[in-house]
Amino acid sequence: MNFYITYGTVDFLKKLAKQQDLEHMLFMKGNDSAILFQETTGKSVFQAPHHYEVIHQSGTLDQSGGFAVLNNIPVTLEGRPLFETRFKNRVEKVEHQPGFKALRMLRPKENDIYIVLTLWETEQAFQDWKNSTSFTEAHKKHHSAEGINHDGTIFSRPSYIRSYYSVK
């Protein structure tokens, strides 16, 4: 499955979303920008999309929206297999949390940044997950000599998080 992301102003992306079939798109806004997701087996309708491959999915991304968190994780080329294995071993810890709606693990097609997209009913549901013991267990450091680079990690630089709210 292909997953495309485009960024822009709320007005521009709202217009684009209205022109397209929203059935396989999700439109959300952040503090200073907006984001439009498209999930399809085909090509993107966006002019300059960020392209990802869905390697794990659960739940449904739909227009009922909520609160989306994008964990952007830069991973070295040699660290990809280890990163993907670790993720798959931890994913069930989030999928059963109250307020959880959907998850997409996105492998980059054009850069080194994986995205773990989680969709929640509310921001509070996400905060409750972050403060849970399940979150702590899911984010424990694992020590392994496989797939690590010279500085001892599989990550090429620090990860960062972006969050967005649904737009009706």
Identify whether the C-beta of residue 91 lies closer than 8 Å to the C-beta of residue 103: yes
This model's pTM is above 0.85:
yes
Containing structural domain, residue 96: 2-41+50-166
- For residues 85 and 122, give the distance between their C-alpha atoms in angstroms, rounded to a whole number: 29
For residue 33 the two structure tokens come to 């920008």
pLDDT at residue 130 tops 60: yes
Q: How confident is the model at residue 102 (pLDDT cuts 50, 70, 90)?
A: very high
Model confidence at 142, pLDDT cuts 50, 70, 90, reads: very low
- Judge contact between 53 and 107, C-beta under 8 A: yes
* Amino acid present at 73: I
Query: Domain containing 108 — which CATH number?
Result: 3.30.70.100
Name the pLDDT band for 147 (thresholds 50, 70, 90). Answer: very low
Report the number of distinct structural domains present in the chain: 1
Quote the pLDDT of residue 91.
76
CA distance 157 to 47: 28
Question: How distant, in Å, are the alpha carbons of 43, 64, 90, 122, 151 from that of 134?
Answer: 37, 26, 10, 18, 28
